[in-house]
Amino acid sequence: MKQLFLLLFIVFCQASLAQNLITQSYSEAVLGEDFNEQNDIWQYPTSYENLFILDKGQYFLTRQNPASAYAIMAKWPNNLTRFNIKTALILGPAESKEQTIGVIFLIQDEGKGAVVFEINKDREYRVKEMVGAYYKYVTGDKASAGWVKSKAISNKELNKVDIKVFGTQCDFYINGEFLTSFNVPEEYGPGRLGLIIGPSAKAKVDYFYVYTTSVDAESLGPVEKELTPEERIMKLSKENLELKRELAEVNVDQIKAEADQIIGLLEERLEIASQSVELLEVENQQLKQYKNEVLTDMDEDVFLTLSQSLKDEIKKNQELQGEIEFLNDSIKTIHANFQDFKLKLLEQAIKDKEKELKNKPKEQPKPELPKKEEPTEESIQILKGSASATTEAEAIEGVDAKPTKGVTTEEWDATDLTDQIQTLSKPKSPEEYEDQPSIEISKQVVKPEPRRVRTAVKREN
């Protein structure tokens, strides 16, 4: 009778507990990680204490520190209060029997709280809550350090962990079997999440997904997809073509300003890529040193894993070198296109100016007044010769041109020549030039005729 009563009590408790479990549907993926390639969400340190690398689509974790655990925080801002974490974990071979691997979530600001779910090699699990600098066990007791046995946990295959959170309630499942449920304090808000590995532990993580409700997913907006190096190069090439098309539609000043800005951005990306290459080289050196100092007594599987990782790092280094060369070529191309465009603008401006000058009407020259000519020494000599010849002719014929009392022929000739010179030397007005045609004095040399000698005859009245 007592056994029947106890059985009914257990069934009743399980039924009551089942009614309080979270039944909300979490169908919208907001974070999906398959660990196929490195990204900015997870850490990949290669130090003496921590070695976290990707190995055949899995996150390979090695913790060398024997004194403390290490939390791997995902660089993903979780603002959800209703979400579902799904991951697959397995512990690797190690000398320490106390190695652990698990999930940490609801990490509050300033270390005010967090929730941790862990499994160990003894097929046990535990849930603990971080309160300040200490942990409070939610499962088990202090003597067992919170550990609880479960046949659902496997040491040979991946353990599928399923954690559901709805407000303050948290439900825990492993490999499809319900483990436990508890409520966090009311003051808890949304918090970051990640993985946690125990001291001197080795583990592998196959995937890490976060789901939420359709309503909460809409509030987060679209999830930005991580681009591969090839997709980033194609995106940069497309942006480069669009910028070239825009450069043809703006003036030279805008072209120069935007080109300088683009070149600056490309140079920054080039510098970042160079820093990544240097960082990879440093990590390669650390891996070589780690191999020489630490991996001498490590098993063959880990050594092969590290060799594959080094090979992958070398390939990534080569891809980054190619990206650097592509960015350098892009900068040179932009410089050349900018110079060609400036030359085309200058040639067009010169053609427009020449066309403007060609079509402009020519100005008619103003008429010039004839210049006043001064008598030259040669013209005076010609006039003197002409006057002398006239006087001699009149004397020979016996006719006086200007009879004057008491004046000899030579005196009259001299007087008449003076009057002619004064008449020629007198300046003329513009009206006189218009009424009379201009007379050009010939520069032809006139030979004087032989002069006849006669005796001057004085006449009386």
Task: Assess whether 215 and 253 both reside in one domain.
Answer: no
- Domain membership of residue 15 (yes or no) is no
Picking from 220, 251, 273, the residue at the C-terminal end of a domain is: 220
The DSSP output letter for 87 is: E
**253: Cβ–Cβ under 8 A, 6 or more apart, which residues?**
none
In the predicted structure, residue 169 carries a pLDDT above the cut 70 = yes
- Domain membership of residue 445 (yes or no) is no
User: What domain count does the chain have?
Assistant: 3
Across all residues in the chain, what is the average pLDDT? 77
Judged by average pLDDT, the poorest of 10-19, 198-207, 319-328 is 10-19
- Locate tokens 């939420």: which residue? 212
pLDDT at position 261:
81
Q: Which residue, among 209, 201, 229, 194, has the nearest Cα to 72 in the 3D structure?
A: 194
The CATH number that applies at residue 34 is: 2.60.120.560
Element (H, E) at 28: strand 28-33
- Domain membership of residue 447 (yes or no) is no
pLDDT at position 299:
61
In the predicted structure, residue 371 carries a pLDDT above the cut 60 = no
The CATH number that applies at residue 266 is: 1.10.287
pLDDT at position 17:
47
In the predicted structure, residue 348 carries a pLDDT above the cut 80 = yes
pLDDT at position 274:
82
**320: Cβ–Cβ under 8 A, 6 or more apart, which residues?**
273, 276, 277, 280
Query: Who wins on pLDDT, 257 or 373?
Result: 257
E strands, 214-291, in order: none
In the predicted structure, residue 445 carries a pLDDT above the cut 70 = no
Q: What is the mean pLDDT of residues 395-406?
A: 46
pLDDT of 17-54, one tens digit each?
444 889 989 999 999 999 999 999 999 999 989 999 99
Which residues are 204's β-sheet partners? 60, 90
Residue type, 383: L
pLDDT at position 233:
72
In the predicted structure, residue 205 carries a pLDDT above the cut 90 = yes
Categorize the per-residue pLDDT at 428 as very low, low, confident or very high, splitting at 50, 70 and 90.
low
- Domain membership of residue 145 (yes or no) is yes
In the predicted structure, residue 85 carries a pLDDT above the cut 90 = yes
Do the beta carbons of residue 107 and residue 191 sit within 8 Å? Answer: yes
- Domain membership of residue 457 (yes or no) is no
Task: Assess whether 24 and 146 both reside in one domain.
Answer: yes
Task: Assess whether 243 and 215 both reside in one domain.
Answer: no
- Domain membership of residue 320 (yes or no) is yes
The Cα-based distances of 320 to 46, 53, 270 in angstroms read 20, 19, 10
Q: How far apart are CA 321 and CA 166, in angstroms?
A: 47
Judged by average pLDDT, the poorest of 8-17, 191-200, 208-217, 274-283 is 8-17
Task: Assess whether 109 and 258 both reside in one domain.
Answer: no
pLDDT of 253-298, one tens digit each?
666 777 788 888 888 888 888 888 888 888 888 777 766 766 555 5
Q: Which residue, among 67, 28, 69, has the nearest Cα to 194 in the 3D structure?
A: 69
Q: How large is the greatest C-alpha to C-alpha distance in the chain, in angstroms?
A: 201
Categorize the per-residue pLDDT at 430 as very low, low, confident or very high, splitting at 50, 70 and 90.
low
In the predicted structure, residue 323 carries a pLDDT above the cut 50 = yes
In the predicted structure, residue 395 carries a pLDDT above the cut 50 = no
pLDDT at position 228:
58
pLDDT at position 94:
75
pLDDT at position 214:
84
pLDDT at position 32:
92
Q: How far apart are CA 46 and CA 87, in angstroms?
A: 23
Q: What is the mean pLDDT of residues 82-107?
A: 91
DSSP-H helix ranges across 297-440: 300-359, 377-397, 409-425, 430-435
Q: What is the mean pLDDT of residues 120-124?
A: 93
The DSSP output letter for 294 is: T
Categorize the per-residue pLDDT at 461 as very low, low, confident or very high, splitting at 50, 70 and 90.
very low
In the predicted structure, residue 318 carries a pLDDT above the cut 70 = yes
Which residues are 147's β-sheet partners? none
Q: What is the mean pLDDT of residues 76-104?
A: 91
Task: Assess whether 138 and 30 both reside in one domain.
Answer: yes
pTM: 0.48
Q: What does 151-216 look like in DSSP terms, one character per residue?
A: TT--SSS-EEEEEEEETTEEEEEETTEEEEEEE--TT----EEEEEE-TT-EEEEEEEEEEE-HHH
Task: Assess whether 179 and 76 both reside in one domain.
Answer: yes
Do the beta carbons of residue 78 and residue 163 sit within 8 Å? Answer: no
- Domain membership of residue 70 (yes or no) is yes
Q: How far apart are CA 57 and CA 205, in angstroms?
A: 9
- Domain membership of residue 439 (yes or no) is no
Main-chain dihedrals φ then ψ at residue 117, nearest 5 degrees: -120, 130
pLDDT at position 352:
83
Task: Assess whether 216 and 233 both reside in one domain.
Answer: no
* Residue 72: both structure tokens together: 């791997």
Categorize the per-residue pLDDT at 456 as very low, low, confident or very high, splitting at 50, 70 and 90.
very low
Task: Assess whether 62 and 83 both reside in one domain.
Answer: yes
pLDDT at position 336:
87
Positive or negative: CA dihedral 413, 415, 421, 426: negative
Judged by average pLDDT, the poorest of 56-65, 120-129, 434-443 is 434-443
pLDDT over 90 percentage in the chain: 33
Task: Assess whether 234 and 215 both reside in one domain.
Answer: no
Task: Assess whether 166 and 33 both reside in one domain.
Answer: yes
In the predicted structure, residue 437 carries a pLDDT above the cut 60 = no
Query: Who wins on pLDDT, 313 or 363?
Result: 313
Q: How far apart are CA 11 and CA 442, in angstroms?
A: 150
Tell me how long the chain is.
461
Task: Assess whether 294 and 388 both reside in one domain.
Answer: no
Picking from 152, 185, 220, the residue at the C-terminal end of a domain is: 220
Task: Assess whether 202 and 260 both reside in one domain.
Answer: no
Q: How far apart are CA 28 and CA 254, in angstroms?
A: 45
* Residue 356: both structure tokens together: 């403007």
CA atoms within 13 A on the CB side of 99: 22
State which residues form the domain around 418: 377-425
E strands, 34-133, in order: 50-54, 59-63, 70-73, 82-91, 100-107, 114-120, 124-131
